[in-house]
Amino acid sequence: MSVRKIPERTVVTCDRCGVECSNGLGPGRRRMNGRLIVKAHSLDMVGDPVADGSFERDFCDACMSLVLDALREALRDSDE
Ligand SMILES: [Zn+2]
């Protein structure tokens, strides 16, 4: 009898482009370990909070760069 140990491996899939992430070069590179966390209430039709609308998304480096660019653009006026 022989025993072969297989180390545990965590696979992250980008929530934007769907690529399986890795720390290597090329598509799916995920050295930034990018994650967007939004905490907010969901509102009903008259604007009252009715539920937790929070969410989290994991991104590869290419998609995280797009998300960061979009956030910078959306928050541009508030930085000045
Ligand atoms: Zn991606």
Tokens of 10: 């965590």
Per-residue pLDDT, 40 = 98
Percent of the chain's residues with pLDDT above 90: 78
Strand pairing class (49-52; 34-38) = unpaired
How confident is the model over 32-54, as a mean pLDDT?
97
Mean pLDDT (the chain) is 92
pTM of the model: 0.78
Tell me how far the alpha carbon of residue 48 lies from the centroid of ligand 1, in angstroms: 34
The residue with greater pLDDT, 25 or 36, is 36
Question: Alpha helices, DSSP H only, in 1-80?
Answer: 61-74, 76-79
Q: Could you tell me which of 26, 34, 24, 25 has the C-alpha nearest to residue 60?
A: 34
pLDDT over threshold 60, residue 79: no
Tell me how far the alpha carbon of residue 45 lies from the centroid of ligand 1, in angstroms: 33
Q: Which residue has the tokens 């960061």?
A: 68
The residue with greater pLDDT, 66 or 28, is 66
